[in-house]
Amino acid sequence: MNTMNARTVRLALILFSLVPAIAHAERPNVIIIYTDDQGFGDASCLNPDAKFQTPNLDRLAKQGITFTNGHSSDSVCTPSRYGLLTGRYSWRTTLKKGVMGAEGKCLIDDGRTTIASLLKEQGYATAMVGKWHLGMDFPGTNPNNRDWTQPVRDMPLDKGFDYFFGVPASLNYGVLAWFEGRHAKVPPTVFTAKKPNDRHVDYRIMPPYQTTPEATKRELGKQGMEVAPDFIDNECLTRFTDTAIKWMGDHTTGPKSDKPFFLYLPLTSPHYPVCPLPEFHGKGQCGGYGEFVIETDYHVGRIMDHLKSSGIDENTLVVFTSDNGPENSWKQRIDDFGHHSNLIYRDGKRSVYEGGHRVPFFVRWPAGILDPGRKWTRPVGQIDLLATIADVVGAELDSADGVDSHSFATVLFNPTSDRSRLPLINHAANGRFAITEGDWKLVLPHGRLKAELYDLKSDPGESSDVLGSHQDIADDLQAKATDIVLNGRTTPGANQPNDTGHWSDLQWISVDQYEQSTTESIGRGKSR
């Protein structure tokens, strides 16, 4: 299956792009590589003035499609990951702003379709290696009553993945260990806090560790968080990549090698702590941050090289993108190095403006993509990956699945596709909404902040609010944003319930309007 003639596959895909399904034998392997806090300008193929080079990201762009108007579904970590995996905006859940910690009820409800569960039902082997950050149920409720002989619940293995190796959340949230399956290989029984970082403005998570939280507070001035004795932050990228390559190798040479696979590889870089390995020190011209992105690119290259050496390169679809824009240190990098992590876009991580959610977005599939090396300039979202992958493998989504996911599969198969995305919602860490349709973006009112309208074609940096001269466009976009919220979906189909009643960030929608429009769909949701 994975070594079939590329020309034959391309011809088949041209034909199958005109019908609902692709024959099972031609289904590709699927890999999603997901970086953390990587800005649009942190790929040298997107930023001609970048102060470091990313040759492996450039290779993805040259051999695939660059989506220059690609967006994460939020501007911070947890909600973007939820949106990517489920094809549903996270603000429809109980998480209206911000992110989760390491521990808690998983944000993905049992039974909700994910990319992993969809592909598992289609006969795929599925693995997740890296950072989860969607909630896990650990044994016990605090360090005093943990029993690490008991399994972790409500985690990747319960959401469609056959295999899991990784960390629960961002490293600053603790419960840090190398988890494999439902257990930590070495339990997190000691404690630590943030330590100074000599390569960046942030912190390190590294030994020595203390035996109690109180000892950590005496030593470092902060209450200790749980960590395994063998954990160290700068091993994450190597361990994740090694494990991913081993899992792919075991799968493609083992008894189930005739099955396609799905690998979700969410890396912890270049999110804080910025901790490049010593062999990357001095690389590039952007200090420790540039070194860390260079190391990240190196590991992407290792994945690509493995696909080539294993003979599965041609029929493996690789998606590379980031969960949101760059952390606030992007401002200092401009002053210190002349490097713009957000390129020409406004703001960075947490923001509703373009720099918060317009991110690197590449798709490479030698056997499937026609006319590689091209760019697609119309909006697409990570929220669209569920529907796109379903189209690629010929799977049917239920009406309640992927309610905000709008397939862009036609763009892969047809260089002259006229695909235009349904309106795309952007969302900030503070809960503020925006909606983009084509070149127009309306930032909705929030607190004391009034609505703003931008023409992204002439003003991609969002420097000139033109709402005063285009009230009709603003009114139309606000009405569409209202429908997307109240209908519980972006895509056509029966209305679906949001998980909560009205919340304060929906400033342009009254409580009565929300309750009146959603009562029926909420009732249907409870009866399912």
Average pLDDT over every residue of 23-37: 85
Higher pLDDT, 5 or 169: 169
d(CA 124, CA 147): 33
Question: Is the C-alpha dihedral spanning 208, 214, 220, 226 positive or negative?
Answer: positive
Average pLDDT over every residue of 75-99: 98
Mean pLDDT score of the chain: 94
- Per-residue model confidence (pLDDT) at position 1: 44
Higher pLDDT, 526 or 138: 138
Please choose, from the candidates 285, 287, 290, the residue with its C-alpha nearest in 3D space to the C-alpha of residue 270: 290
Question: Rounded to whole angstroms, what are the CA distances from 166 to 186, 242, 341, 508, 518?
Answer: 12, 12, 27, 40, 38
Residue 6 — pLDDT band, cuts 50, 70, 90?
very low
First-to-last C-alpha distance (Å) of the chain: 39
The position carrying tokens 């792919």 is 248
The position carrying tokens 């034998």 is 25
Asked whether 67 and 45 are in contact (CB, 8 A), the reply is no
Q: Indicate whether 291 pLDDT > 70.
A: yes
- Per-residue model confidence (pLDDT) at position 328: 97
- Per-residue model confidence (pLDDT) at position 57: 98
Q: Indicate whether 445 pLDDT > 70.
A: yes
Over the range 330-365, which residues count as b (16 or more CB within 10 Å of their CB) and which as e? beebeeebebbbbbebbbbbbbbbbbbbbbbbbbbb
What are the tokens at 327?
A: 């952390």
Could you give the dihedral angle defined by the CA atoms of residues 429, 320, 488 and 478, in that order, rounded to the nearest 10 degrees?
60
Give me Rg for the CA atoms of the chain.
Answer: 22
pLDDT tens digits, residue range 213-255?
Answer: 999 999 999 999 999 999 999 999 999 999 999 999 998 886 6
Alpha helices in 394-491 (DSSP H): 409-413, 471-486
Q: What domains can you pick out in the chain, each with its CATH number? A: 29-413 (3.40.720.10), 432-527 (3.30.1120.10)
d(CA 146, CA 148): 6
- Per-residue model confidence (pLDDT) at position 25: 43
d(CA 405, CA 388): 8
d(CA 87, CA 403): 6
- Per-residue model confidence (pLDDT) at position 2: 46
d(CA 293, CA 50): 11
Residue 467 — pLDDT band, cuts 50, 70, 90?
very high
What are the tokens at 495?
A: 């209305």
Q: Indicate whether 18 pLDDT > 70.
A: no
Q: Indicate whether 14 pLDDT > 50.
A: no
d(CA 56, CA 54): 6
pLDDT tens digits, residue range 113-122?
Answer: 999 999 999 9
d(CA 475, CA 442): 9
d(CA 358, CA 436): 12
d(CA 235, CA 275): 9
How many alpha carbons fall within 13 Å on the CB side of residue 422?
A: 15
- Per-residue model confidence (pLDDT) at position 41: 98
pLDDT tens digits, residue range 365-392?
Answer: 999 999 999 999 999 999 999 999 999 9
For 462, phi and psi rounded to 5 degrees?
50, 55
Q: Indicate whether 528 pLDDT > 60.
A: no
Q: Indicate whether 266 pLDDT > 50.
A: yes
Please choose, from the candidates 74, 54, 2, the residue with its C-alpha nearest in 3D space to the C-alpha of residue 432: 74
Q: Indicate whether 20 pLDDT > 50.
A: no
* Beta-sheet strands, E only, within 124-277: 125-131, 163-167, 179-180, 183-184, 190-192, 225-227, 261-266
- Per-residue model confidence (pLDDT) at position 16: 46
- Per-residue model confidence (pLDDT) at position 491: 98
DSSP strand pairing (261-266 vs 125-131): parallel
- Per-residue model confidence (pLDDT) at position 48: 97
Q: Indicate whether 176 pLDDT > 60.
A: yes
pLDDT tens digits, residue range 316-327?
Answer: 999 999 999 999
Residue 277, by phi and psi: left (phi above 0), alpha (psi -120 to 50) or beta? beta
